[in-house]
Structure formats: structure tokens, C-alpha cells
């Protein structure tokens, strides 16, 4: 099947290949009339941008990889939707990977995204310690941000909630409402956040004097 080239679009539209490139990329001065003509010709010929060539030329792919522990978890589904909406607004595409709550699969997904030359990676690690090697190695290759969860022993950017400050607000609210004792029930293997220390697992009683 013949692949329409930018030169063919330029010849049909009666402009230079540089003008076609500016019109289709939206970068650079092109009159409204020429822009409409170039886009109409490109559509008529079925021209498609060569993403690989553009990535090599611009040294970027306008893609971001994201790895989450489980796509089926509604919490991560919501995060993915929010991230994708922001990226779409900025003209970027999202490559989403499911780690299946397995650090070994997570490591493979991260390596795959690096091999595909994404511009950066967002990861919500599957484990507080076992994800460390893969996350650190990936961060050494590409810009990487940890989202919600954070892996001990790594030093990447992180976006999440300060658990200690959040819990202090909760307890202050309960205390102000007249409560004099409370109990916290958490996961058996909490994932630590930066500077949060090791959270206690199970049920932890709290009381005020």
C-alpha cells in the first residue's frame, strides 16, 4: 500500500514541504488560507504524519507512560482518567500499563516503556520495597514521577498525600467533636510515603488525655 509523502501533499497544494510541515504541526507562520488548503489536500490524499520521523526530528515522542498496580481498581482508574485528560489537553498521548500487582511484571512494563522512547513515566509502585530496583533504574533513564505510592530508597519526584498531616487533621476533627478515643484500621502492608516513616499495620488504638 502506497504511503502518501509530505512532498506529494506539497506538490498538490502548490507549496513547499516546509510550509506543509508548519501547517500540519501548527508550529510556524502559515496564512489561514494556506493552512486550510494544505489540510484539505492532506485529508484528500490520506496523508498521515510519520510519528517515528517526527520523534527523531524533535527528539521527543509526545508520549508519556503510566504504570499502575491494577487497572481494575477504581482508584487507579480515576487517576488514569485524570492524567489522560491533562495530557490530551497538552497534545500528548498516554501509554498505560497494568502491573497486575506484581513487582516483576511492573519491572517489565517499565523497561518496555523505556524501550519505546516515551518522554517520561508516571508510576504508582506495586510494593514499598520490592519495586525499588526497577523504579530507580528507570528514573536513571527517563524523567519519572511516583504517584500516590512511594518506594523506599528512591529519590524521584512524588505526587501524593502527606499521610501524617492528613491523619493529624482527622484526629483533630474527631477530638473537636468530642471523641476521646479512636481506632485506625489499615492494610497489612502499607506503602510508605516520603518522610512518613513506617506506618503501623492492622488496628491501632488512639486516645486523648
CATH number, domain containing residue 152: 3.40.50.2300
Task: Supply the pTM of this predicted model.
Answer: 0.63
CB 173 within 8 A of CB 179: no
Same domain for 153 and 124 = yes
How many CB atoms lie under 10 A from the CB of residue 136? Answer: 15
How sure is the predictor about 120, in pLDDT bands with cuts at 50, 70 and 90? very high
- Write out pLDDT tens, residues 74-115: 999 999 999 999 998 888 899 999 999 999 999 999 999 999
Q: Which domain holds residue 167?
A: 163-207
The more confident residue out of 160 and 3 is: 160
In a domain, 41, yes or no: yes
The phi, psi pair for 184, rounded to 5°, reads -115, 130
Same domain for 92 and 33 = no
In a domain, 54, yes or no: no
Total domain count, the chain: 3
- Write out pLDDT tens, residues 6-41: 888 899 999 998 998 888 877 778 888 998 999 999
CA angle (167, 173, 175) in 5-degree steps: 100
Same domain for 153 and 65 = yes
Same domain for 180 and 95 = no
In a domain, 1, yes or no: no
Residue 3 has pLDDT above 50, yes or no: yes
Same domain for 153 and 128 = yes
> Burial code of 53-81, b = ≥16 C-beta within 10 A, e = fewer?
eeeeeeeebebbbbbbbbeeeeebeebbe
Amino acid at each position: 500500500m502506497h504511503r502518501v509523502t509530505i512532498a506529494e501533499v506539497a506538490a498538490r497544494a502548490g507549496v513547499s514541504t516546509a510550509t506543509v510541515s508548519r501547517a500540519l504541526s501548527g508550529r510556524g507562520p502559515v496564512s489561514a488560507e494556506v493552512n486550510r488548503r494544505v489540510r484539505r489536500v492532506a485529508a484528500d490524499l490520506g496523508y498521515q504524519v510519520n510519528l517515528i520521523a517526527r520523534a527523531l526530528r524533535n527528539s521527543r515522542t509526545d508520549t508519556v507512560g503510566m504504570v499502575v498496580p491494577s487497572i481494575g481498581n477504581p482508584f487507579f482508574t480515576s487517576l488514569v482518567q485524570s492524567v489522560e485528560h491533562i495530557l490530551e489537553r497538552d497534545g500528548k498521548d498516554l501509554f498505560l500499563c497494568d502491573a497486575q500487582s506484581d513487582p516483576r511484571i511492573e519491572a517489565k512494563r517499565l523497561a518496555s516503556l523505556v524501550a519505546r522512547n516515551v518522554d517520561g513515566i508516571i508510576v504508582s509502585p506495586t510494593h514499598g520495597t520490592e519495586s525499588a530496583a526497577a523504579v530507580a533504574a528507570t528514573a536513571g533513564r527517563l524523567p519519572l514521577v511516583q504517584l500516590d505510592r512511594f518506594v523506599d530508597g528512591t529519590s524521584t519526584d512524588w505526587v501524593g498525600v502527606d499521610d501524617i498531616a492528613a491523619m493529624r487533621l482527622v484526629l483533630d476533627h474527631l477530638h473537636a467533636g468530642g471523641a476521646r478515643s479512636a481506632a485506625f484500621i489499615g492494610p497489612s502492608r502499607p506503602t510508605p510515603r516520603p518522610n512518613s516513616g513506617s506506618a503501623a499495620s492492622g488496628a491501632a488504638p488512639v486516645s486523648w488525655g
